[in-house]
Amino acid sequence: MKKILWLLVILLLLFVGFTYISAYQEDYENTIIENIKNIENTNFSQYDSVSAAVTTRYEGNFIKRTMQGENYREAWSTPITVPVVFLDTLLGGMTIIKEGGGTQTQSLKVESSSGILYSLRGINKDPSSHVPEIAKTLGLSNIIIDGNSGQHPYGAVAAAGLAGEVDVLHTNPRPLFLPKQEKLGDLNEKYGNKLYLLEYETESEVNWTALQNIVEIIETDDLQELKAIRGDKLKIDRNALVRSRLFDLLIGDWDRHTKQWGWALQEQDSVYIAIPIAGDRDSAFFKLGGLIPSIISNKNIAPEVRPFKKKIDHLPGLVYPFDIYFLKNTPESVYVEEAKYIQTHLTNEKIDAALQKWPRVLYDLNGKEIAEKLKQRREDLVDYAISFQKIIEEREFLSSPLKGSEDLNLSPELLRCFECKIVSE
């Protein structure tokens, strides 16, 4: 018995020791451009494109990779060719509207000469705001920060290609390099000389989709306010939302909270139909390995953080209040129908073709592995769809506002679900 206890103590000490070794952060660089040593003094107006990598922050030795996972470390430090853009000429000239972004991502909301709103979302992230105080106190901040290596820096780009094959609206993200320039003015130090994804905003007075009779594109809180005014003259396209959410399950995009959705309002015989638009696909194909992340992402600790594997291991963690609010009382047949649509239209050839739109170096790194997982998850999608519907139906209607809607003055019915008033009548 004593030998077993001593063995456990030794293993615990080794685990703690290796954890601290893996948490050590070596010096790193952000936005590394091949063959240019000093980007601050480079005149990028002479360049159409550059070969650039996002960051070397996630590189690590054998211990780090064992303790915190292989993840997508190499993709973050691999250079790809991206266009160099200047805001005064991009899409006819861009006007900066405001700074945006969440707690990890720096972004700029910009407007094109045609009045379409876009977002320039930084590919590099700063997860430091998500580090708990206890991790800071223990000197383990990098354990949390390093979890960002589980996101693929260009996952959103591949996800958009896949979404197009199954008619799921997306924001069409494209990578680019934004050098320091006169148009940025006082924002140069914060936003210049960095890599971004340029994508459509999930709000716009101008229709950027391929759909007809789109009156406006609005965010979820505005949709709720409009619902209070128009009542049963405003409905959501439930089939489209079910398809979008099943597509999320397919690509392993577990981070789908309310503020990441927009809605294209389509006028049909004096009724508005709200068609969902998914934005912010940063968590597509989220890959998390290693001893420490395996513990942290346990379904009993963080049920929503589901690594992208061939099988979904804990579906209840992927059901959001958003799903209950918009999809409760949707028949199982709708889920089965939309799952079969994805299965039929997203063939092996289309999966391979979508991922091969990545630069070859990225496809060789991660494309084949992702494709294999997608194909298996697609085969099981009807089963996932049925289970997803059952979980939603088992959950209670909401008793608190959706994220981002806390300041709205909604009726009790509209607080509980989007069409509760109609259902109750």
Q: What is the pLDDT of residues 369-383, one digit of tens each?
A: 999 999 999 999 999
Q: What is the DSSP letter of 176?
A: E
User: What is the b/e burial string over 100-132, where b = at least 16 CB atoms within 10 angstroms of the residue's CB?
Assistant: ebeebbbbbbbbbeeebbbbbbbbbbebeeeee
Helix/strand/coil for 141: helix
Answer yes or no: is pLDDT of 421 > 60: no
What average pLDDT score do residues 4-12 get? Answer: 64
What average pLDDT score do residues 177-189 get? Answer: 95
d(CA 316, CA 95): 43
Answer yes or no: is pLDDT of 151 > 80: yes
pLDDT grade for 141, boundaries at 50, 70 and 90: low
User: What is the b/e burial string over 155-193, where b = at least 16 CB atoms within 10 angstroms of the residue's CB?
Assistant: bbbbbbbbbebbebbbbbbbbbbbbbbebbeeeeeebbb
Q: H-helix or E-strand containing 197?
A: strand 194-200
Pairing of strands 234-236, 271-278: parallel
What average pLDDT score do residues 163-192 get? Answer: 95
Q: 40 vs 425, which has greater pLDDT?
A: 40
Q: What are 278's strand-pairing partners?
A: 170, 261
List pLDDT tens digits, range 41-70: 899 999 999 999 999 999 888 877 887 888
Q: Which two tokens stand for residue 184?
A: 């940025």
Asked if 97 and 59 count as a contact pair (C-beta separation under 8 A), the reply is: no
Asked if 195 and 84 count as a contact pair (C-beta separation under 8 A), the reply is: no
Could you give the percent of the chain with pLDDT greater than 90? 69
- pLDDT score recorded for residue 21: 61
Answer yes or no: is pLDDT of 174 > 80: yes
Average pLDDT for the chain: 89
User: What is the b/e burial string over 28-37, where b = at least 16 CB atoms within 10 angstroms of the residue's CB?
Assistant: eeebbbeeee
- pLDDT score recorded for residue 233: 95
Answer yes or no: is pLDDT of 8 > 80: no
**Which residue, 305, 278, 287, 322, is CA-closest to 418?**
322
The type of residue at 245 is: R
- pLDDT score recorded for residue 419: 87
**Which residue, 88, 115, 103, 113, is CA-closest to 178?**
88
Answer yes or no: is pLDDT of 423 > 60: no
What average pLDDT score do residues 312-340 get? Answer: 95
- pLDDT score recorded for residue 256: 87
- pLDDT score recorded for residue 125: 83
- pLDDT score recorded for residue 18: 54
Residue partners of 26: CB distance under 8 A and separation at least 6: 59
First to last CA, the chain: 68
Asked if 249 and 381 count as a contact pair (C-beta separation under 8 A), the reply is: yes
List pLDDT tens digits, range 267-289: 998 899 999 999 989 999 999 88
126: phi > 0 → left, psi -120 to 50 → alpha, else beta; which?
A: beta
Q: Looking at 60-69, 83-92, 235-244, 381-390, which range is the least confident one?
A: 60-69
Q: Which two tokens stand for residue 211?
A: 């759909």
Q: Looking at 61-75, 192-206, 273-287, 379-393, which range is the least confident one?
A: 61-75
Answer yes or no: is pLDDT of 135 > 70: no
What average pLDDT score do residues 247-276 get? Answer: 94
Residue partners of 379: CB distance under 8 A and separation at least 6: 343
What average pLDDT score do residues 289-306 get? Answer: 76
- pLDDT score recorded for residue 272: 96
Answer yes or no: is pLDDT of 235 > 80: yes
- pLDDT score recorded for residue 424: 39
